[in-house]
Structure 1
Amino acid sequence: MFTIARRFGVSLDSLIAINPQIPDPSRIFPGQTICIPETSTPGPCPPNSTVYIVKPGDTMFLIARRFGISLEALVNANPQIPNPNNIKPGQTICVPKGPPAPQCPPGSTRYTVKPGDTMFLIAQRFGISLNALIRANPQVSDPNRIFPGQILCIPPR
């Protein structure tokens, strides 16, 4: 697949991503059909954003959630995508960086949200009330929606 990617001017990662039907990319056979991602190069991503290659199963909503940003911010950062409901594996998009990590007051602990965490579980883990955790994190607009990688302040007991 490396040779094919080079021949068509696409990255090996995007070629593999757009061909999930090939279990072992190092073993392809003559006559096997593979998809080649479009080579139209989007404009450079704006400052404070990163390039992301869409993987099979990705949606704009899931990508936004994975990076801890709003769907609206992700869509606005990608005006080259005519229909945000129709993205394809191998497609390149710009992901704006999320809000800056909060500055925790003295005595507080910085905590990085892990997959499966909820505000309730984090409060329990640190032996504080849910309300205290919510008050210590005014940057969290919806306490029911936190994301892996997000930074929270854990107030002292």
Structure 2
Amino acid sequence: MIYVVKPGDTLYILAQRFRTTINLFLMFNPEITNPALIFPGQILNLPPTGHSFRLCPVLRQGDRGPAVSRIQFLLRQQGLYTGAIDGIYGPLTQRALVAWQQSVKEINVTGIVDEETWVSLGFECNERPEIVQYIVRPGSNLFSIAIWFGITVESILQVNPQITNPNLVYAGQIINIPASQ
């Protein structure tokens, strides 16, 4: 769902009105670079409520949000996506997705991310328990891990008090991953 910002709105007011957090608003609206600056007429993606969130949502060109960032990240790992991981499903994301779908014989080439496409990229679409353990892979950082699991870096840090420097995780390190938000 989307929301058109009205005069007097702030992210704090909107987070209260829609019973969510400012961090979730920022996660679903990566184009916001300054949380203190939104303007009337701006279109925001509303974070989903608990019952509407899906780990593997259907995505198509024009969609925005963390699931799009996740698909961009997965396509980048395959060497097909070279753009910014910005959460905006534009033409570059579409081309990379079609290239992936063409390379996998078992799926249809639609340009739409469905559960079959998610799974073909190695993503697990089933709900996870509250906290699972994850072994950090070579070249990973907390940002890429957060995108992979559809969560925020902050939520990873909350369940990993042993991580004192969020810019320093190493291959083989075991960290806790909270359930998706």
TM-score bucket of the superposed structures, by smaller chain: 0.3 to 0.5
TM-score (norm 2): 0.32
- Bigger-Rg structure (1/2): 1
TM-score (norm 1): 0.35
Higher normalized contact order (CA 8 Å, seq sep 6+, divided by chain length): 1
Return the structure number with greater helix share: 2
